[in-house]
Chains A and B, each alone.
Chain A
Amino acid sequence: MKSILFLSGKGGTGKTSLAGAFAVLAKDKVLSDCDVDAANLHLLLDPEVHAEGDYEGSSAAIKDDERCTACGLCRDVCRFSAIGDTLHIDANLCEGCGACEYVCPVDAIRLVPRVSGHWMTGETRLGPLASAELEPGEETSGKLVMHVKQKAQGLAEAYGLERTIIDGAPGIGCPVIASATGVDAVILVTEPSLSGLHDLERILGVVEHFGIPAFLVVNKADLSADLTEKARAFAAEKNLPLLGEIPFDPAMTEAMVEGRSIVEGGTGPACDAIQAIFARFEQATSGASAPT
């Protein structure tokens, strides 16, 4: 398996903690944080930044009020309600499509690039990392995710590494779909709650929609025996291989507070469970990856 993406639908199920643990256990890999809305992997990895920059993924319309004759054509064509009756352009609603610029008869509107985030690449104790953070209040997280994936690809080539471990975003929308495009496997992390299972079903729908092989991990499995049983039944019904169950363990949070992965020098039930999950994943996918 060359690229492994962690997704969950519901947030806070443990994607980043598990991705961080896989980063410790897997050999010869690039790490990539595609949760650009709330990038956290670097908090465990403490990268030494080698390159960074602004990402201009979109445009915004700006209007020259001196030229504007208040004809209102821009307001009429805008489908994002970004131009109201005062003909002021609301930057938060503007998607940068340029329709207003096109229709303006006096050339009072132009599109200007906007910085939508910052990317970085660097080195960590566990391998090279590509990551990005969305500028608060900006759009185009999907495009920024694609940009991070390109940077990770560049690192893989530069370091001659085959594998990429990718931390994904919660939800099922734009950044998730952007992160899932072209990956070899998805590990879905759920928790035994009705919300967790509801969201698992939706994210599995997305992963199936794109035809990506998927695996399941149930985190905090002992918080509800009934719902963990439901997760098992769901996995069996959907032919979704269950890699294992992780018990609730305060050692997970302790490791996070110390800025390390639980499998780095950790002990205890969660640490053991994650090591078994990694071994099972390797075993399940060993036939699938081409020998080198």
Chain B
Amino acid sequence: MRITVASGKGGTGKTTVAVNLALSLSDRQPISFVDCDVEEPNAHIFLNPKIVDRQPVEKLLPRVDAQLCTRCGACSKACQFGAIAVLGETVLVYDELCHGCGLCSMVCPEDAIREIPHELGVVESGTARGFSFAQGILNVGEAMATPIIHQLKRRIDTSGTVILDAPPGTGCPTIAAVSGSDLALLVTEPTPFGLHDLKAAVGVARALEVPAAVVINRDGIGDDRVEQYCHAEEIPILLKIPFDRAIASQYAVGEPIVDGNPSWRQRFRELYGQIEEVRR
């Protein structure tokens, strides 16, 4: 089973839910934890993984040989991303706009374009607290997170229960993380912002045909419109985590809720039981 913990809004508690779920199950079943929030990976703060393997993720960037180039403009005309342009006697490549598709080098009649690898970030794997751990890290200043997420997903150890911590939002990095999951566990908070972004996240899950269930975090702040929405849409609410300064303090210093707290461990186990129910 592959569970992806996602949310539209950032900072709702995705990492908290993913980490505590993994820790509550790891003494009963094999777990593979994957932090797909490659822009801001945070699970390592709570899990202190031992990284044993690190691989760069690259995209290919075009480089134009000025001697061979006739400035015909075929590359610029073909590029769908506006990443290559002929300006007078020079050809400019906008590396940050380039998707690395290779079309410019294919269409060049003079074979003047070659491609060079450029590092976007890394994927790392190892172990944490007795289970398999992997994460991706986007290099600061790079725009494209999705190639790292795809690479990460190709390397997932699927022998056990896979728990993915997704990036916030509804765009391509979120889609890359959620697609192919058995369940999208959507974490929200009971506020107007939380509700608005939950609806967007449900839209993503539905577009990808992944069943959705909800965890309400910081229960007690805000209002009850998230619950009303979930009931109307028949989306099960599987867990509510109250707003509690003690939990917030534990989170602040990178301490999982379930550590030294058997009752929370039990609640996260029950959450998993309910996830299995939803899947049936």
Chain B residues, CB < 8 A from A223: 245, 248-249, 252
Contact B254 A174 (CB under 8 A): no
Chain B residues, CB < 8 A from A95: 99, 101
Q: Which of B170, B189, B223, B252 contacts A192 (CB 8 A)?
A: B252
Contact A170 B138 (CB under 8 A): no
Task: Please report the C-alpha to C-alpha distance between residue A231 and residue B101 in the assembled complex, in whole angstroms.
Answer: 41
Which of these binds chain A: B139-147, B155-163, B227-235?
B139-147
**A19 within 8 A of partner (CB):** no
Interface size of B in residues (CB-CB distance below 8 Å):
63
**A206 within 8 A of partner (CB):** yes
Interface size of A in residues (CB-CB distance below 8 Å):
65
Task: Please report the C-alpha to C-alpha distance between residue A170 and residue B197 in the assembled complex, in whole angstroms.
Answer: 13
Contact B175 A92 (CB under 8 A): yes
Q: Which of B11, B15, B221, B245 contacts A13 (CB 8 A)?
A: B11
Contact B141 A175 (CB under 8 A): no
Q: Which of A38, A198, A209 contacts B42 (CB 8 A)?
A: A198
Q: Indicate whether A40 sits within 8 Å of B9 (C-beta atoms), given known contacts A194-B252, A253-B222.
A: yes
Contact A37 B253 (CB under 8 A): no
* Total A-B contacts with CB atoms under 8 angstroms apart: 200
Smallest Cβ-Cβ distance to B140: which chain A residue:
A205
Most buried by B among A16, A81, A136: A136
Q: Indicate whether A250 sits within 8 Å of B221 (C-beta atoms), given known contacts A38-B196, A172-B39, A198-B45.
A: yes
Contact B96 A177 (CB under 8 A): yes
Chain B 38-49 interface mask (CB, 8 Å, partner A; 1/0) = 011010010000
**A122 within 8 A of partner (CB):** no
Task: Please report the C-alpha to C-alpha distance between residue A226 and residue B208 in the assembled complex, in whole angstroms.
Answer: 42
Task: Please report the C-alpha to C-alpha distance between residue A193 and residue B11 in the assembled complex, in whole angstroms.
Answer: 12
Smallest Cβ-Cβ distance to A170: which chain B residue:
B10
Smallest Cβ-Cβ distance to A205: which chain B residue:
B140
**A236 within 8 A of partner (CB):** no
Would you give 22 A-B contacts (Cβ < 8 Å), ordered by A?
A12-B9, A12-B11, A37-B168, A37-B169, A38-B168, A38-B170, A40-B193, A58-B80, A79-B100, A98-B101, A137-B204, A170-B10, A170-B39, A171-B169, A172-B40, A174-B145, A175-B169, A192-B252, A193-B252, A198-B42, A253-B221, A257-B222
Identify the A interface with B (CB < 8 A): 8-13, 16, 36-38, 40, 43, 58-59, 77, 79-81, 92, 95-99, 102-103, 111, 133-134, 136-142, 169-178, 192-195, 198-199, 202, 205-206, 209, 223-224, 226-227, 250, 253, 256-257, 259
Identify the B interface with A (CB < 8 A): 8-12, 15, 39-40, 42, 45, 60, 78, 80-81, 96, 99-103, 106-107, 138, 140-145, 150, 167-175, 179, 189, 191-193, 196-197, 200-201, 203-204, 206-208, 221-223, 245, 248-249, 251-254
Given contacts A138-B172, A169-B169, A257-B191, 14 further A-B contacts (CB under 8 A): A10-B42, A37-B168, A40-B9, A81-B150, A98-B103, A102-B103, A102-B107, A170-B39, A173-B173, A174-B144, A177-B96, A194-B45, A205-B140, A257-B192
